[in-house]
């Protein structure tokens, strides 16, 4: 099994095109399916704050509780030892993240490449095609699936512990790393709306009865500079063909 790198980032905002990292946490393990300390498994947890080249937005501070004052004396990620460590790890390892496309975009903005990755969000969606789980954000999954983990949200270190526990649960349902990588590399096609006025309704049905709503929703997502869900853009484009 390739070494897995469980990673979470916190940033100055949620626009990868202009925002930058202010905290990175990752954990590596040759065999993450073992509990800590079993079988001679070596686990490394690294977490650091960084001073970004732009200020942390008030919105981001309200979510992460990381303030500009907290990072004013920290080093820049671009000059950090952690960046060099991740650059080495990512060459042969597999990044694991929830909503991985955001984390990958933030890493790429700092000059790091991510050849292989597992997105636990897309794997969760793959294993829940009928949307029986109401929400797929990582903290909702933590409590819905009753994952026993230390740490609290919304700190990157706590999120990495939740991420590792979620991955282990998903692996019991789909014990195939290469399949997880394949699923993660392509967008999810939803069957039902999970938000908005048509929440719970089949998308194919809404396409027939209110196509204008779907067109409006797609155009809104495409025009947004925020961290728009690519899976929903793909889904709407597919049903509107």
**pLDDT score recorded for residue 119:** 98
Asked whether residue 157 falls in the same domain as residue 211, the answer is no
Asked whether residue 83 falls in the same domain as residue 104, the answer is yes
Rg (Cα) of the chain, in Å, rounded? 19
**pLDDT score recorded for residue 86:** 97
Asked whether residue 195 falls in the same domain as residue 157, the answer is no
What is the span of the domain harbouring residue 227?
Answer: 188-241
pTM for the model? 0.89
The answer to whether 217 and 193 have CB atoms below 8 angstroms apart is no
pLDDT average per 10 residues of sequence, the chain (241 residues)? 90 91 91 52 81 96 94 96 96 96 95 97 95 91 90 73 94 96 96 92 96 96 78 96 93
- Could you tell me the CATH number of the domain that includes residue 125? 3.30.420.10
**pLDDT score recorded for residue 29:** 79
Asked whether residue 46 falls in the same domain as residue 158, the answer is yes
Give 234's contacts (C-beta < 8 A, 6+ positions apart): 187, 188, 189
Asked whether residue 14 falls in the same domain as residue 55, the answer is yes
**pLDDT score recorded for residue 227:** 62
**pLDDT score recorded for residue 17:** 86
Q: Where are the alpha helices (DSSP H) in the chain?
A: 58-64, 68-71, 81-92, 100-109, 120-127, 138-144, 156-173, 177-184, 203-209, 211-223, 230-239
**pLDDT score recorded for residue 171:** 96
């Amino acid at each position: 099994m390739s070494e897995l790198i469980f990673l979470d980032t916190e940033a100055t905002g949620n626009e990868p095109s202009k925002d930058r990292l202010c905290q990175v946490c990752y954990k590596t393990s040759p065999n993450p399916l073992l509990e800590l300390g079993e079988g001679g498994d070596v686990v490394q947890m690294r977490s650091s704050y960084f001073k970004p080249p732009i200020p942390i937005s008030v919105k981001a501070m309200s979510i992460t509780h990381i303030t500009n004052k907290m990072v004013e004396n920290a080093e820049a990620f671009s000059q950090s030892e952690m960046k060099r460590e991740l650059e080495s790890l990512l060459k042969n390892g597999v990044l694991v993240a929830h909503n991985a496309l955001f984390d990958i975009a933030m890493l790429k903005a700092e000059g790091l490449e991510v050849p292989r990755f597992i997105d636990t969000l897309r794997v969760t969606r793959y294993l829940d095609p009928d949307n029986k789980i109401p929400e797929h954000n990582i903290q909702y999954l933590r409590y819905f699936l009753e994952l026993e983990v230390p740490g609290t949200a919304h700190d990157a270190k706590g999120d990495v512990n939740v991420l590792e526990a979620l991955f282990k649960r998903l692996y019991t349902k789909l014990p195939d790393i290469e399949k997880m990588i394949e699923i993660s590399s392509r967008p999810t096609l939803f069957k039902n709306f999970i938000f908005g006025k048509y929440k719970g309704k089949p998308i194919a049905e809404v396409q027939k009865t209110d196509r204008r709503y779907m067109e409006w929703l797609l155009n809104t997502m495409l025009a947004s500079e925020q961290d728009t869900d690519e899976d929903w853009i793909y889904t709407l484009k597919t049903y509107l063909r």
